[in-house]
Amino acid sequence: MLKYVLGFVAGMVVVLLAAFLWVRFGFINPQADIPENALEKGIATPALDAAVDRRAPDTTNPIQPTEDNLQAGMKIYQANCASCHGDIQQPDGMLVGALHPRAPQFL
């Protein structure tokens, strides 16, 4: 029984090490203009979603939604974010075709 358990543990270690080395030595294509691979779709995206869900309820916005703050925020958004995320005049941002996965559209 002990040999079986040790063999199982050794097999798991080898599989995990092989997966780590596969990623570490660059066998996964990091280009942003190709569809997500199975690893990214199955592990990375759900892990990111879970991390955001875990931390989002604990955060509060320190900025009050006054007229001045909203105007300043819109200027920052137009200058830094609208080219990817779109705005009222151009719902699909100028760079939407260059991003994969597509940037969320906030309208």
Helices assigned H by DSSP within 25-105: 38-39, 45-55, 67-80, 82-85
| pLDDT digits 0-9 by tens, 47-102 | 888 888 888 877 788 889 999 999 999 999 999 988 888 888 887 777 777 776 77
Highest mean pLDDT among 15-19, 25-29, 58-62: 15-19
Tell me what the mean pLDDT of segment 25-35 comes to.
74
Residue 96 corresponds to which tokens in the numbers above? 């939407």
Note the pTM of the prediction, 2 decimals: 0.50
Give the pLDDT band of residue 32 (cuts 50, 70, 90).
low
Rounded CA separation 20/60 (Å): 36
Rounded CA separation 13/18 (Å): 8
DSSP code string of 13-28 = HHHHHHHHHHHHTT-S
